[in-house]
Structure 1
Amino acid sequence: MNVIIFGANGNLGRCLVSEGILAGCNVTGFVRNRGKWTERTGASLPTERLTIMEGDATNPQQVYDALTDCDAAVIAAGNPKDADRFACIVDTIVTQADRHPRFGGRLWMLSGAALLDIPHTNRNMIGLPGMPPMYQVHQINYDRIRQSKLDWSVLCPGPMVENADNAYMTNLRFSTEESPLTVSESERSLPEPALLGLLAQKTPELIIPYKEAARFIMNHLEHSGPFAGKRVGIALPEGRVGEKAGWNLGQ
């Protein structure tokens, strides 16, 4: 399988490249700066199944050319701190993928855990009072991908961290459409500001390694699979929490 990673220079992007190669894929890493890729990775990855392509993910022609003969793509580029560019990246890639006759049609996109519905409700966390407005971009991107004809999925992890020991984890919790967090009926009835505070307290359960998010995506590149057309949540095993400085619900 030929897969392209947009944003391959980032922490998650580099893990996606590694996991894609481990999964037997031919990987194209799309980066803004080839020099930074070399600086950050050196020669640690096999080159026979890896191509690094330099370009701008907001440039329609460059994106279109990069998608040619790829079976699947992953959007790991963009950041809510630059919401306008983030939305432009997603719109450009989705638009070009949707119209490309030589793109396979499978697309994964990254969002934040706040895009997932609060369990047993029909609302997500993005609209709760107190959520920083910049995270509205996750809803904008989600609405955009739903307008496409692509075989898409959206992974919605919480804050992500580097692996301390480089080992894979077991018993991770996964969900579709709703958050993997446990929220009781009484908790769901809390006033919205209190509900947001409660969910913030539970967010350490969502702090996962970049490597786990990357492995999950690369293990689910099949067409019309169980996560097609769905938002996907991921959490640590029951009873475990993670640590990350400066995290918040929108990540």
Structure 2
Amino acid sequence: MRLLIFGASGATGRALVSAALAKGHMVTAFVRTPGKLAISHEHLSVLVGDVADRQAVEGAIAGHDAVLSCLGVGVPLRHDATVIAGIGFMIEAMQRSGPARLIYLSFLGVRDSRRQLGPLLGGIIVPLVLRHEVADHEAKEGLIAQSGIDWTIVRPPRLGNGPATGTFRHGDGIQARSLLPTLSRADVAAFMLDQVGDATYSRKAVALLP
């Protein structure tokens, strides 16, 4: 498949690009700073652009089978209206010309999923320390849920850099088993890729936990 990945130069984005290439997909990485990607492959194309540029986003989306977003925030712990706007531009382009499938990386702690994190993360860290990032994710999830396209929102906990284990849990009612649950970016990337051709969580938000 031809996959377009936004946020490809971030830590999770790079894991997703590598996993997609390993599975034989044709990958287009949309990045603002190409030097951060540090991946070369015959099936990888790199588009340099800014998600705040409506025309750049629309031009990138054409001709792909699915879109995956690992977009984070420009400055940690701060509100970032640019990325919210970028998600809106993606949706508008997909509504006009396709593709229909969007896989969006969010965070376990957004909306009703906060209760799944337990008292430390869900009751203290998320509402106090991560409130701006969570509010941004909620805004972006709202745009996606109302879009009418075929979306899946993936909500992992804290992310780590370990190898893929394939032993994590996914679903709606699962609960954290530790105070600071952590999942490897490699596992998250593998799950996001699986969702491209799997309708189990179509138009649903799904939690991931170790």
TM normalised by structure 1 equals 0.72
The higher radius of gyration belongs to 1
Instruction: Verify the 8 A CA contact 2:52 2:83 in the aligned structure 1.
Output: no
Q: Report what 2:193 is aligned to.
A: 218
Deviation for aligned residue 1:45: 4.0
Q: Which residue is 2:119 aligned to?
A: none
* Unmatched runs of 5 consecutive residues or more in structure 2: 117-121
2:190 maps to a residue whose letter is R
Paired residues for 1:15-34 under 5 Å? 15-34=15-34
1:233 to 1:69, Cα distance in 2 relative to 1, 3 A:
same
Secondary structure in structure 2 of the residue aligned to 1:174:
strand
1:173 and 2:169 are equivalent in the alignment: yes
What RMSD in Å do the two structures reach over aligned CA positions? Answer: 2.2
Q: Which amino acid aligns with 1:173?
A: R
Please give the per-residue CA displacement for 1:156-177, whole angstroms capped at 9, x wherever unaligned: 11111111xx3x314311113x
Contact 2:103 2:195 in 1 (8 A): no
Aligned to 2:131: 133
Distance 1:137 1:76 in 2: 14
TM-score, length of structure 2 as denominator length: 0.85
Q: Which amino acid aligns with 1:105?
A: A
Name the structure 1 match of 2:161.
162
Q: Which residue of 2 aligns with 1:193?
A: none
CA distance in 1, matches of 2:83, 2:152: 17
CA deviation after TM superposition for structure 1 residue 132, in Å = 4.5
Cα deviations by residue, 1:209-246 (Å, 9 ceiling, x for unpaired) = 111100111122016x101111111111xxxxxxxxxx
Question: Quick check: 1:149 aligned with 2:145?
Answer: no
User: Could you give the per-residue CA deviations for residues 46-99 of structure 1, whole angstroms, max 9, x where no partner exists?
Assistant: 2x2110110011111111110011010111113262432231222222222222
Identity %: 24
- The verdict on how the C-alpha distance between 1:129 and 1:212 changes in structure 2, with shifts beyond 3 A counting, is closer
Does residue 106 (structure 1) correspond to residue 101 (structure 2)? The answer is yes
Deviations 1:94-124 (A, max 9, x none): 222222x2x32100111110124336xxxxx
Structure 1 residue 35 displacement after superposition? 3.0
SS in structure 2 at match of 1:113: coil
After superposition, where does 1:10-49 map in structure 2 within 5 Å?
Answer: 10-37=10-37, 41=38, 45-46=40-41, 48-49=42-43
| Structure 1 runs not aligned, ≥5 long | 120-124, 183-200, 237-251
- Bigger mean CA deviation after superposition, 83-92 or 209-218: 83-92
8 Å CA contact 2:10, 2:36 repeated in 1: no
Report the equivalent of 2:50. Answer: 56
SS in structure 1 of the partner of residue 135 of structure 2:
helix
User: SS of the counterpart of 1:108?
Assistant: strand
Query: How far, CA to CA, are the matches of 1:58 and 1:221 in structure 2?
Result: 25
What letter corresponds to residue 213 of structure 1 in structure 2?
V
